[in-house]
Amino acid sequence: MNVPAPARIPAAWNDTVTGMTDQPGDGGWAKLGANAGLCRTCVHAKLNETRRGTAYLRCTNPDLPRYPRLPVAACSGYRSGESS
């Protein structure tokens, strides 16, 4: 049985292709194009930046919309990710 090898991702793409980060730099938030509101400090928010420089926010809480409308002013699933 002939099984193809898995596709390799170029090292230069690692941060953008697989880079859904918990603590992105301020540059990614600036590219988002909108104020994230509560999502900016929420543990469920993941900011992703594509190879072309587009940034988008994704919510990982399964009870909430995956791509929230920004800015988020109130959220039943909000959990602060900032340490006191």
> pLDDT tens for residues 33-57?
888 899 999 999 999 888 888 889 9
The list of the chain residues with pLDDT below 70 reads 1-26, 82-84
Please tell me the predicted confidence (pLDDT) of residue 81.
83
Do residues 41 and 30 lie in contact, with contact meaning Cβ atoms separated by under 8 Å? no
Q: What residues contact residue 24 under an 8 Å CB cut-off, 6+ apart? A: 47, 49
Whether this model's pTM surpasses 0.75 = no
For 20, other C-beta atoms within 10 Å of its C-beta total 12
Please tell me the predicted confidence (pLDDT) of residue 73.
93
Please tell me the predicted confidence (pLDDT) of residue 31.
83
